[in-house]
Structure 1
């Protein structure tokens, strides 16, 4: 423990050692490029080794840390069902971790075609069902794990606490129904972090009560992708449920000390189609510096471009937003040229291309997407980053005893009598 503390330095000490200003170290922290901790005097402390690594990275001296994570092993008995599979971000991440899929369901035609094409191309052998999940009979299915990135409709349960009954008519109910019928050892739910506070927390509480009624112990955690080998500031809520009759711990990925920048992610990115700006918008966007947004424009241009939004409160930081080479990307949306959520290339005045989108979501370069360009952007923007799925998948395998627990995992043992 003392050795670990000795590797921590204050912002002032780090600045002296690296030959940069204290403001630079603080800016790195504010941008999320480096994590800090607090000492007994409430001072921010930083890892000396990670600061040195970040300095080398931003100076162009360090090799890229970007890669699609793969374990190279597949456990035949670690079977998995994937619902609302989309373009396969979680499924591929789980597969790369070592789980074997026995069934995937996805209602969107183009996303299902993406799954089928890549299953054939990569020899995954996935059983892909394009039906509405409401029509699926799970009673004869068997799997150790069920995973679902269920869409969260805006429903309210204020004053109710009927658990399973409360969720009828929602897609979470279909996830719960599959759990009830299959009885997997572990169930993993994934959603946006906003679910934690939706309807004052009552929506999530109802979901947890539902899983409890089905006989599962539950924990949840919001994971920050930028600290889990994803070049993107994307937060996802992960619900980890374990069948109550089993002595299985909850295990979540532990955040790493490093981030992967956009420069690393897009290095040697293959060319691909992409949206383009109309000429009028292009003239506006070319005035925005890397990492900047509408506030960096001349005031007259701000007012013309923003229109009525100029007079609203709030940061509106997604408008006229150009990404930065030296940071992870902002969260990808379903379209990179939407006015409220711009994702402009850090150097060229254009939206990110389809392949650049896929790189940022850590899909491999040979993962092909079906449908129109707009549908490809949508599939990628809605996906769980592959590397995030990998880390969650390795934790599931560790909980089930297929792989050893390592120092990249946080183990939470069940409470007595739980």
Structure 2
């Protein structure tokens, strides 16, 4: 199965497809990848060691501006991409297609229109379905159907696939290989979860019971919060902004691309050392006031732990760091990544039920 990965980041789709290939004995070849963030490219290349004939597309806007560039790509079976989501997110201005990042979906369409692979697998924020009263998503479906694809989708939570992180994302599967003998009628998060639940322990995906399986008991002192900043990060906010800021979440909050900026504990993930060392058995949040909590040793996630919460091996962060990628960039890469187990589970369901030819 030949694969083109767009908006690759640190290769969440590639990691999932590589593991599928290993587990189901399917020959896998990545023919190319696009990524504009130079630091993400450094991590990607350090982790996957792309072959010389693999196309490094770089800026997808510049690449797709010439159809000859698209035609020069090797043929491939599946296109994947977590296209930029900020413009559709509840956290942003929701400018949608009216912003340059929102136009990136049409660069996917440029490639699909020329190469016409059998499959496309795309990921975005949950709010994509509701953006602009549903009109944005209707346009996306209509564009894909206009090229002859049948389109299926649902919202998936990373926490349902044995990665302890709450992260709701829409996954869209588009296929030109619709079988009349076996039409795809049962594509849903529920059915994907049920199959994954049966088999995950014998598969190559990383999996954890809860966040304690990810947290290291000893980390560098630089990851601990200073006495000055702890009261601010633990605060529930001011009159203009109120939200419950709790630490020691047994299932982590959604990782964000800006977690390196260290938001309050209502948005980012922080853990007390006693919670970590006791594997979650001691949780002072239940008994202490915010003032008392602020006197404890509390730290943020390390980049390695952030990568693990997305289903990547911890050494992926280490490999990026060895190439000179700083922690701030690694946090951004983890926050922007697709969750490996979610994508793996979707592909596993499609392949095991013969909805994808491999």
Tell me if both proteins adopt one fold, taking TM over 0.5 as the criterion. Answer: yes
CA contact (8 A) 1:272 1:354 kept: no
**Aligned pairs, number:** 290
The CA deviation at 1:394 is 2.1
| 1:18-417 matched pairs, under 5 angstroms | 78-98=1-21, 99-120=28-49, 127=54, 129=56, 131-136=58-63, 137-141=69-73, 142-152=75-85, 153=87, 154-155=94-95, 170-243=103-176, 247=180, 249-250=183-184, 251=187, 254-256=192-194, 260-266=209-215, 271=219, 275-283=223-231, 294=235, 306-310=237-241, 316-317=243-244, 320-324=245-249, 327-334=250-257, 335=259, 337-339=262-264, 341-346=267-272, 347=275, 348-367=297-316, 368-370=319-321, 371-398=325-352, 399-402=355-358
How far apart are the structure 1 equivalents of 2:268 and 2:167? 15
Name which of structure 1's ranges 386-395 and 269-278 shifts more when overlaid on structure 2.
269-278
How far apart are the structure 2 equivalents of 1:273 and 1:147? 39
Q: Which has the larger radius of gyration?
A: 1
What SS is found at the alignment partner of 2:298? coil
CA contact (8 A) 1:119 1:125 kept: no
What SS is found at the alignment partner of 1:341? coil
Runs (5+) with no aligned partner, structure 1:
1-77, 159-166, 286-292, 295-301, 403-418
The CA deviation at 1:276 is 4.5
Q: 1:269 to 1:366 in 2, by over 3 A?
A: farther
CA contact (8 A) 2:150 2:178 kept: no
Runs (5+) with no aligned partner, structure 2:
22-27, 64-68, 88-93, 199-207, 276-296
The CA deviation at 1:148 is 1.0
The CA deviation at 1:308 is 3.7
CA contact (8 A) 1:195 1:204 kept: yes
Q: State the Cα RMSD in Å.
A: 3.1
The CA deviation at 1:283 is 4.7
The CA deviation at 1:155 is 3.9
How far apart are the structure 2 equivalents of 1:184 and 1:333? 32
What SS is found at the alignment partner of 2:13? helix
How far apart are the structure 2 equivalents of 1:190 and 1:376? 21
What SS is found at the alignment partner of 2:10? coil
CA contact (8 A) 1:112 1:130 kept: no
Q: 1:270 to 1:147 in 2, by over 3 A?
A: farther
How far apart are the structure 2 equivalents of 1:189 and 1:81? 12
Q: 1:393 to 1:144 in 2, by over 3 A?
A: same
How far apart are the structure 2 equivalents of 1:331 and 1:401? 33
The CA deviation at 1:224 is 1.4
Q: Deviations over 1:64-96 (max 9, x none)?
A: xxxxxxxxxxxxxx1111100001122211211
The CA deviation at 1:131 is 2.0
CA contact (8 A) 2:3 2:31 kept: yes
How far apart are the structure 2 equivalents of 1:90 and 1:281? 37
TM-score using structure 1 length: 0.62
